[in-house]
Amino acid sequence: MTIIHNAIWRINVDSRLGSIEPVSEAYNKLGGRSLIPRILLDEGVAGCDPMGPINKLIWSVGLLVGHKVSSCDRISLGGKSPLTGGVKESNAGGSTGLLLSHLGIRALVLEGGSNIDEWFTIHISVDGVKFESADDLVGLGVYESSEKLIERYGKKVGITLIGPAGEMGMYSAGVQNLDKDGAASRICARGGLGAVMGSKKIKAIVIDAENGEKPPLHDPQLFKAARKYYTEELIAHPQTKNYTDYGTAAMAAICNGFGALPTRNFSTGQFEHVDDIGGEKMRDLLLERGGASDTSHACMAGCIIKCSNCFGDVNGDLVVSPVEFETIGLVGSNLGIDNLDDIARLNWEINDLGMDTIEVGAALGVAAEGGLMEFGDADMAMKLLHEIRTGTDLGKVLGNGVVSTGNHLEVKRVAAVKGQAMSAYDPRAIKGNGVTYATSPQGADHTCGNCIRAEIDHLSPEGQVEVSRDTQIKMAVFLKGLVLVQKEII
């Protein structure tokens, strides 16, 4: 099959057929986060049941994806959220975006889902779309499922898949993606999009880009010069080294200093044991343990920042990759847990279930306040995750997120906006984020406009609207996939 670049691939799960159409002129300059709501609005999704057949699940590729420009080969995933009832985009690193672009795909749209009673995997390649039974994968965790698929299709494929939570339609379910090393560790986590994929009875999509090709460039020499400039500026920026050495875990100390680190179900913004779970502690621990431990891991090919990590146990054996700041905040300090090994263990379990650590961590925080566990009790937190895995009534309540848990336990302190748990930046201390949470259609989502680095008094109401608006615009540009090369980088 001849590759049609900048194309929209549609897969209908009812007919089990795929189709390819070139991107229209109206969509030509849209990609990543910006393309998803345009498709949803143009195709009448807004008023639908998020778990019904009218909703669409869209993997959208940014305009620079496909050439291994540092940090640019991410994937955006979107649809109507069953958690918020509104538009949702969630993005991740890994290999999904890169490999989709090598098949010429700007957007992959999963449609339909009426009265389907069997599970499928979908294999896409230059030869088109092929449905195959997923009977042997149903009920398995993300890690075992992905390993079976890699054994079947080879190590060069990409995979985007759901875990048991997505199969059960839980609103905290995300969609996992392989990293550059083949580990199913990069999740489009937020908004319940894994439940949408589960509603269409698709366990996984396998992306086979063999015989594919990089997206064409209008001006290869200009692109080469732009990439060189961008890379040099990135390397020279002091923040790059900080992220390489400490990863996103460095934000624990920063947020704690602002009084914005969620602690014991957002009852306070500072954790007395923050030094035991932050970036410096993690780096020292992993360097000491060695083996599979890695303080500077690149989740996608070509990334020079390497802000991810591989967390090894006392013997240097891999536990999970990565332990990110958001997980440290919601599964660590928010639950009163002060041990990185416990956080990593819980992180693996949530990943294997295919769930958002932010939403699950927030739900467990409410569960602790409601008396189902003591703050600081990692073992009981694990037992509650087992309730989710086995699909008990309590597990379904927890798996549907923080608002569901709060309503069930009649807990009043529920840190959520538009039905979605707040991320690890308490808006009472970083008020610009409060504006972002309130005004974004995606609810409490720091990726829509995180204001923590703004040079402003974060506790004053003055200037917060302007800071949030400016940050939201910049994030929309970043996640669309544009870099303007002049004497500055936007």
Mind listing the pLDDT tens digit for each residue in 205-264? 999 999 999 999 999 999 999 999 999 999 999 999 999 999 999 999 999 999 999 999
The answer to whether the CB of 405 falls within 8 A of the CB of 367 is yes
Encoded tokens for 391: 């699909």
Mind listing the pLDDT tens digit for each residue in 171-191? 999 999 999 999 999 999 999
Tokens 């064409």, residue? 216
Q: What is the mean pLDDT of residues 393-399?
A: 98
Mind listing the pLDDT tens digit for each residue in 84-106? 999 999 999 999 999 999 999 99
Q: Sign (positive/negative) of CA torsion 62, 65, 79, 45? A: positive
| Averaged confidence pLDDT in the chain | 95
Q: How far is CA 52 from CA 76, 77, 116, 169, 443, in A?
A: 21, 18, 11, 12, 22
Closest CA to 20 of 99, 125, 132: 125
The answer to whether the CB of 75 falls within 8 A of the CB of 97 is yes
Closest CA to 430 of 230, 282, 258, 312: 258
Tell me what pLDDT residue 476 has.
Answer: 83
* Structural domains of the chain sorted by starting position, each given as residue range(s) with its CATH number in brackets: 7-207 (3.60.9.10), 241-415 (1.10.569.10), 423-490 (no CATH)
The percent of residues in the chain predicted with pLDDT above 70, rounded, is: 98
Phi, psi of 448 (to 5 degrees): -80, -15
Dist. CA 324–CA 251, nearest whole Å:
9
Dist. CA 484–CA 395, nearest whole Å:
47
User: How many Cα atoms sit within 13 Å of 199 on the Cβ side?
Assistant: 28
Query: Taking the model in full, what pTM does it have?
Result: 0.96
Tell me what pLDDT residue 50 has.
Answer: 98
